[in-house]
Structure 1
């Protein structure tokens, strides 16, 4: 397949590396708005993957390059424009979350998607993680009986650069949104209401940017399942993403292995033995490969999108509700947040 990739920052360069190593990619066509970046990335890819065919084009040339699929990894403020271009050009499109920087634009794109036959796949990679898929199976099969409580967390080992925070959308839109999507994916239920709080004990730039470095929320699903969710930028022991699903017949956990970023206080316990993981890219590398491989099936017309803009919109609406709840210090029903 001939795959185009726009945006060669941290996540874009990471995707370029992944795509170069996938057998389904015959040619990778890359571009970035910054002068010379495409050539630098192409040189690294050719050195690391001698078999890879890599072409560098200007952004305005990308969609005319005979693509079978488009991967969008620009900064957030470029996502909506490139999704629109992909849909209007009839090119199957994969885009990193979020769909757009605002709820209004996300809704607009979801409507555009619904009126088009061009598929769009949004990159919520936990849908392709082995552990999360096993938890989904346990819930769907009735293995756990009825589910009453879920604990979900996204804990980064270290905070992002200060300049990222003012454009991140806030901790619930940037980090928590992955948990919100995973909750819907695992349970097959919708989130009905939220109550969220946040606090700062770390760097001043979080407060200055109107954000928090640690957030927590209680979510109620539409079947009265309770979800306890937490997220932080400061988890010095390592990157920690987990979901515990508790039911009448048992409990199952995704992310519980020897890389777990915590230490037992009990005597004679050697779990976890490590080594820890230090970033989301390390934690979810197999899932990133799996989601891009799934996108090739979507682009070839052999499978529907496994995470549509409409799916991403529901996670984004929950993040919006959490930010509103945090700001106004009250519970927020999802009916208060605009949707399709």
Structure 2
């Protein structure tokens, strides 16, 4: 039996979701002769102990104590502002780590910590859970196998059933950073292509407070991939039919759609068609419940040396750079060229300029 101690750092709402998923995964892994022990820690004094008592888990009084007592890996689900500090502690302790996205508060800080991770030879898996969703994986298999032919276009949709509070949106970084980031990552992952240009537009027809804090409630981005393939990414805070996550992968031989099932959040306008008949997913947590568990399994396999890193910090920051470029295009009303992470790190390109959220009129 292989024994692994995982320190789960950050036990707020998202952190507790990850802890619950890791508990479920631990039961599954016992069948593979792997025993996972979960130990909690949080920046708020006494909070990890309280959550641990509720969930039947051990807790350390601080991250430093957690590491000093001995763990085999860290799973970081703190607020974004706390990621870099914990990553540096993990690097110093030579621990493999999982870090929720984004790895830092902005792209410049992310690039700085990537350099530290790479200089130390550290292992950090970043939490882009769509890479572990069965639908996206099958679409990638079909594309890689040549079943779709060459791609002529991709169409991504990310629609929340209702918006979060305007107070959250004021600090979210904007619609493209907060929502479309996931589409940018999955398009890069599925196609194996960098996104080299983006042109974005946005609108506000819902709560005026969203516009008042400088954001838009609906956005559309036209993306150009490195090989010239075109993609669109549409996001909205007001998809009243339910939580809608889809990706149309359109090829010269065939096409496939991720997210087309009985829980799809739309109805057909054609006569005699009652598909889909199920209740749509209310939020992302239900839509990607299995994917979140699968990424936990992947992290354990990474710790054991049984697989390659499924989402590196450079992968995650590449999507963040696209999101910054989309926000800049929204602001200026002009298309924006997008440098790669490597071009920025080697000094041959500059990061995308980050501006206020208020879009061009």
TM-score tier after normalising by the smaller chain length:
over 0.9
Residue 116 of structure 2 is aligned to residue 112 of structure 1:
yes
Match of 2:142 among 114, 125, 138: 138
**Deviation at 1:29?**
1.1
In the alignment, what sits opposite 1:252?
Answer: 256
Is this contact kept in 1: 2:194–2:340, CA < 8 A? no
What is the rounded CA distance, in whole Å, between the counterparts of 2:193 and 2:338 in structure 1? 13
Q: Quick one: distance in 2 between partners of 1:167 and 1:41?
A: 27
The one-character-per-residue Cα deviations of 1:160-214 (angstroms, maximum 9, x if unpaired) are 2333222211111111111011001110111010001112222233223222121
1:22 equivalent among 20, 25, 28: 25
Matches within 5 A, 1:165-176: 165-176=169-180
Give how far 1:45 is off. Answer: 1.7
Question: By how many angstroms is 1:293 displaced?
Answer: 0.7
**CA separation of 1:218 and 1:286: change in aligned 2, threshold 3 A:** same
Aligned residue pair count? 334
Q: Which runs of 5+ in 1 are unaligned?
A: 47-52
Aligned ranges for residues 89-238 of structure 1 at < 5 Å?
89-238=93-242
Residue 11 of structure 2 corresponds to: 8
Which of 337, 344, 350 is equivalent to 1:339?
344
Q: Secondary structure at the match of 1:244?
A: strand
The 2-side partners of 1:30 and 1:289 are apart by: 18
> Per-residue deviation at 1:276?
1.1
CA offsets 1:240-298 (integer angstroms, 9 cap, x no match): 11111101111111111000001111111110001210111100010000001100111
Moved more, 100-109 or 161-170: 161-170
| Counterpart secondary structure, 1:167 | coil
Deviation at 1:36, TM superposition (A): 3.8
Hey, what's the Cα distance between the residues in 2 that align with 1:204 and 1:35? 38
The normalised TM-score by structure 1 is: 0.94
Unaligned 5+ runs, structure 2: 30-34, 346-361
Task: State whether residues 29 and 57 of structure 1, in contact with CA within 8 Å, keep that contact through their aligned partners in structure 2.
Answer: no
The residue aligned with 2:44 is 34
Over the residues paired in the alignment, what is the CA RMSD in angstroms? Answer: 1.7
> How much has 1:336 moved relative to structure 2?
9.4
Per-residue Cα deviation, 1:100-143 (whole angstroms, up to 9, x for no partner): 11111111122222222221000000100010011111111111
Q: Secondary structure at the match of 2:179?
A: helix
3-state secondary structure, aligned to 1:168 = coil
Counterparts of 1:336 and 1:134 in 2: how far apart (Å)?
A: 27
Q: Which position in structure 2 is the counterpart of 1:239?
A: 243
CA distance in 2, matches of 1:336, 1:197: 22
Q: Does 1:293 align with 2:297?
A: yes
Deviation of 1:302 after TM superposition, in Å, equals: 2.5
Residue 49 of structure 1 aligns with which residue? none
Task: Give 1:67's aligned residue.
Answer: 71
The answer as to whether partners of 2:45 and 2:62 remain within 8 angstroms in 1 is no
Shift of 1:37: 2.7
Supply the distance in 1 between the matched residues of 2:121 and 2:205 (Cα, whole angstroms). Answer: 48
Q: CA deviation at 1:233?
A: 1.3
**1:241 is paired with a residue of what secondary structure?**
strand
Distance in 1 (CA, whole Å) between partners of 2:301 and 2:69 is 20
Q: Provide the rounded CA distance (Å) in 2 between the counterparts of 1:249 and 1:44.
A: 53
Tell me if structure 2 keeps the 8 A contact 1:124–1:307. yes
